[in-house]
Structure 1
Amino acid sequence: MLSARRLPVIAALAAATALILSGCGAVTPAATPAATPAATAGATAVGTPPPSSALGAADVAKYTFPDGRLSFEYPADWRVELFTGPGEPSLSRTATVLDAKGTEQVTVYSGRIADGVSHPVRRTVFESEPVPGLSRQPAPAAHYAFYVDRMDASPTYRMHLSAGAPPAGDSARLDGIIRIGKEVLVAEIKFIEKPFASDDAAKDWLAGAEGQALKALLLSVSYS
């Protein structure tokens, strides 16, 4: 996923999360929306502060799901493809965000069905903060989170939306399922299997342009 490394991307959500989409669907390339102001969020960073190269208002576009209620902002030179599941209206929708070189960076899913598998981990949290546009949804409050889970000393780096702030220390793997209205939301950055050589490397990536762009995308998710 990391553009600086140009490594192959695993085209899936984090290994233990399965989104159950039954039947056939359709992929619809989304037209590039008009640029809109970037979302503003207060930083509660653990580590290096955001760089001055953070995206400006002119660099951001907004994508809105067909229901007109769920939306997010993303770099204007990236694009969004929408997969719709069966049903009328569709029971599930997955927006895949691809960067300017066509690398899949993020998936944002909304629908009636989602599932997750949990197992014990030891977690180090790099950053976590509430998502302003999801503040009216049922508790626990949706948070943007960037952290590493370790199981048997093997690290799994994750950046996604979580239900509540992810606890540090001994815990369980998070399923990342957020309730929105009568449906659920799952939004996650698509990392390669081992994206960082160390936790310090992960923090350095977060402080760079790509890390900040992906953080801003997750913090911009909104449901009205």
Structure 2
Amino acid sequence: MKGTTMRPAFRAPVVTALAAAALSLAGCGAMVAAAPSSSSPATSATASASPTPSASAGGGAGAGGAANPGTSPSPAPAADVKTFTFPNGHVSFKYPAGWKVELFTGSGSPSDSATATVVDAGGTKQATVYSGRIADGVSHPVTRTVFESAPVPGLAAQPAPAAQYAFYVDRMDSNATYRMHLAAGAPKSGQGTALDGIIRAGDGVIVADVQFIEKPFANDAAAKSWLAGAEGQALKALLLSISYR
């Protein structure tokens, strides 16, 4: 478990749809180990799921760490991936073949709401993807520095604002909150408000977040270095692979 990079879900103060979903599902859902839909070679930017050096240990950016906001670095070498599809059959995503997905569903058949938790080979929660009908968000003022963002191809046909993969840091007072997630529209650097990350898709919503520990990086250079490594690229590829049909 990489104590300096990832952790079980616990995030600095942004309330997203996942919180509302958890409340709505409490007491009526079930946790099951989800079987992948398929396994295939990666066709987009993916990376090995092997561990990376501690993100807070180094100060310099890696080869892909200096990307400008709105751009996408060159794809990493392809790795085997699996495809997970939600029970509703609409939402799917790809993840490293050595990882697994645990699914929490609400009551009813089929369930309208479900949360997929992506766990790496070491048992660390790396990301959550929610698909359902309930959404809520609370925002607050921040100063943002965007490291990278890009449109999500598989969600391009959904209602505006268009879904974007995004990696950035929000600062409020002396606190820095690093986020890698799906954002509704391209995030911009400067003064703004915290993003709720609620993506409209069909008659429901999608919310997808990488699960960071409270202080995952010593500084922005360390965050960029992590992004350039295997773990950062694998999670970026996961978010970019999310699709709705």
Regarding TM over 0.5, the answer is yes
Contact 2:105 2:111 in 1 (8 A): yes
Equivalents in 2 of 1:6, 1:196: separation in Å? 7
Mean CA deviation greater in 88-97 or 121-130: 88-97
CA RMSD of aligned residues (A): 2.4
Q: Tell me the secondary structure at the aligned position of residue 39 of structure 2.
A: coil
Change (3 A) 1:6 1:119: closer
Instruction: Output aligned runs, 1:100-139, within 5 Å.
Output: 100-139=121-160
SS of corresponding position for 1:81: strand
The counterpart of 2:181, out of the listed 151, 160, 177, is: 160
Identity level (%): 64
Structure ranking higher on relative contact order (CA contacts 8 Å, 6+ apart): 2
In structure 2, give the amino acid aligned to 1:25: G
1:19 corresponds to 2:20: yes
CA distance in 1 between partners of 2:5 and 2:236 (Å)? 20
2:243 matches 1:222: yes
Unmatched segments (≥5 aa) in structure 1: none
Moved over 4 A (4+): 3-8, 49-52
Letter in 2 for 1:126: F
**Structure 2 portions without partners, runs of 5+:** 46-63
TM-score for the superposition, normalised by structure 1: 0.89
* Partner of residue 71, structure 1: 92
The answer to whether the aligner puts 1:40 opposite 2:44 as a matched pair is yes
> Secondary structure of 1:193's match?
coil
1:149 partnered with 2:170: yes
Asked whether 1:9 is paired with 2:13, we answer: no
Task: After TM superposition, give the deviation of residue 63 of structure 1 in Å.
Answer: 0.6
Structure 1 residues 186, 201: closer, same or farther in 2, change over 3 A?
A: same
Aligned residue runs from structure 1 range 190-205, under 5 A:
190-205=211-226
Q: Does the 8 Å contact 2:4/2:213 carry over to 1?
A: no
